[in-house]
């Protein structure tokens, strides 16, 4: 069975390698290329692979700092509340970049990853260091899935296939350009691809929610041969909640760039932001693609967020920093940048934070 899976994986890689043409290519857009996509403020198109192997060599020769997964706290999720809530605006951190947003009665799931490993193979690759606080089947029916890019810790095949089979029908998948092709090949057709700054409105129990795809500084790849063939990005969700505007932002994976000042200027600020804080060492290799705690706080300030939580930590050790590092580094960064302790926090796994309690 494992050999069969491995052969299937290799075949998929070969087929992908033969399809290095961007069907969404728009010559008028500077981040488009005939064979894929690029960043706005740094050109990392087909960045040199030797640096990756140098990083791997360093990891083997020098080892990794110790980590303590027991410091990553979990709470028993309030599943009854999540299944009954249609009025409050809330966020529930499930792990890594997976979170449940509830907005105007719409259940929105970000970067669903419910598997034991963040890898193309079920028996190898980075393993979950802290148990899931809940299973996908425990959640209320998901209406919308936001996938920021195609890396295995953000786009998990088994999770999206399970969502496709959920009772009541599949959710709407809103994704960057190119991921629609991957999802279609998996038999998932309820997909809306977006380019940077594009938007799409979804009907909700109470009004509607408009979702925008916004730029990040990152890259994409699921095989050695499809680097940057699909787009990457962050998301903005806007709604009118009981007569008042409400906005939510998800950074996706990113290096620090001027993109965030652009986002803050365009949208004028956010009531809530979900910003990556982990997986950033070694800096010489990760700086252009992942942010540390200080840079996460700078994004919080750039996008003019009233309240933010940190994600992309506490679950999979994908980089050299310990998964519990933000517990120590974020308070120091808040003090350095004079950000109030209550303005940018780390939730416990399974914790629900009510962002706006309904007056009804």
For the ranges 129-143, 146-160, 218-232, 265-279, which has the lowest average pLDDT? 218-232
Check residue 46 and give its pLDDT.
53
- pLDDT-derived band at 49, boundaries 50, 70, 90: low
Residue 51, SS3 per DSSP: helix
Q: Closest by alpha carbon to 219, among 357, 48, 3, 74? A: 48
pLDDT tens track for 263-319: 999 999 999 999 999 999 999 989 999 999 999 999 999 999 999 999 999 999 999
How far, in Å, CA of 331 to CA of 195, rounded? 35
Check residue 134 and give its pLDDT.
98
Q: Mean per-residue pLDDT for 49-70?
A: 83
Cβ neighbours, 10 Å, residue 333: 19
pLDDT tens track for 313-351: 999 999 999 999 999 999 999 999 999 999 999 999 999
Residue in this structure with the two tokens 């020769």, named with its chain if needed: 61
- pLDDT-derived band at 360, boundaries 50, 70, 90: confident
pLDDT tens track for 234-258: 999 999 999 999 999 999 999 999 9
Is residue 47 over pLDDT 80? Answer: no
- pLDDT-derived band at 18, boundaries 50, 70, 90: very low
Residue 32, SS3 per DSSP: strand
| Angle made by CA atoms 7, 14, 159, in degrees to the nearest 5 | 65
How far, in Å, CA of 59 to CA of 139, rounded? 38
Contact (Cβ atoms closer than 8 angstroms) between residue 346 and residue 334 = no
Check residue 209 and give its pLDDT.
98
Residue with more model confidence, 2 or 15: 2
Query: If you average pLDDT over every residue of the chain, what do you get?
Result: 93
Alpha helices in the chain (DSSP H): 2-17, 50-62, 79-84, 157-164, 179-185, 259-267, 283-286, 293-302, 326-337
- pLDDT-derived band at 50, boundaries 50, 70, 90: low
Is residue 48 over pLDDT 80? Answer: no
Contact (Cβ atoms closer than 8 angstroms) between residue 250 and residue 148 = yes
Contact (Cβ atoms closer than 8 angstroms) between residue 263 and residue 235 = no
Q: Is the peptide bond before 282 cis (omega within 30 degrees of 0)?
A: yes
Is residue 192 over pLDDT 80? Answer: yes
Check residue 14 and give its pLDDT.
47
pTM of the model: 0.93
Instruction: Enter the CATH code of domain 53-356.
Output: 3.60.15.10
Q: Mean per-residue pLDDT for 177-187?
A: 97
Is residue 15 over pLDDT 50? Answer: no
């Amino acid at each position: 069975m494992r050999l069969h899976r491995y052969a299937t994986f290799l075949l998929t890689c070969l087929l992908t390698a033969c399809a290095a043409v961007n069907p969404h290519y728009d010559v008028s857009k500077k981040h488009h290329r005939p064979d894929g996509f690029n960043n706005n403020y740094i050109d990392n198109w087909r960045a040199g692979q030797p640096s990756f192997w140098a990083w791997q060599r360093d990891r083997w020769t020098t080892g990794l700092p110790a980590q303590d997964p027991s410091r990553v706290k979990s709470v028993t999720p309030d599943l009854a509340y999540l299944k009954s809530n249609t009025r409050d605006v809330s966020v529930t951190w499930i792990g890594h970049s997976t979170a449940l947003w509830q907005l105007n009665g719409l259940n929105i799931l970000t970067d669903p990853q419910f598997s034991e490993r963040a890898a193309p193979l079920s028996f190898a690759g980075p393993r979950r260091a802290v148990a899931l606080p809940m299973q996908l089947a425990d959640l209320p029916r998901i209406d919308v899935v936001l996938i920021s890019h195609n890396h295995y810790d953000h786009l998990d095949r088994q999770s999206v296939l399970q969502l496709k089979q959920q009772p009541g029908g599949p959710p709407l998948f809103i994704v960057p350009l190119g991921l629609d092709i991957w999802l279609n090949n998996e038999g998932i057709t309820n997909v809306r691809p977006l380019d940077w700054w594009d938007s799409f409105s979804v009907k909700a129990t109470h009004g509607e929610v408009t979702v925008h795809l916004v730029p990040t500084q990152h890259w994409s790849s699921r095989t050695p041969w499809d680097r940057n063939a699909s787009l990457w990005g962050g998301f903005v969700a806007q709604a009118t909640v009981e007569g008042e505007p409400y906005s939510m932002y998800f950074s996706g994976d990113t290096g620090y760039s001027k993109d965030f000042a652009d986002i803050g200027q365009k949208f004028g600020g956010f009531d809530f932001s979900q910003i990556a804080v982990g997986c950033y060492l070694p800096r010489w290799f990760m700086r252009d693609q992942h942010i540390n705690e200080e840079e996460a706080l700078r994004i919080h300030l750039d996008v003019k967020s009233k309240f933010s939580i940190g994600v992309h930590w506490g679950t999979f050790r994908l980089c050299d920093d310990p998964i519990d590092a933000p517990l120590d580094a974020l308070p120091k960064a808040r003090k350095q940048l004079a950000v109030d302790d209550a303005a940018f926090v780390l939730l416990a796994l399974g914790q629900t934070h009510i962002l706006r309690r309904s007056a009804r």
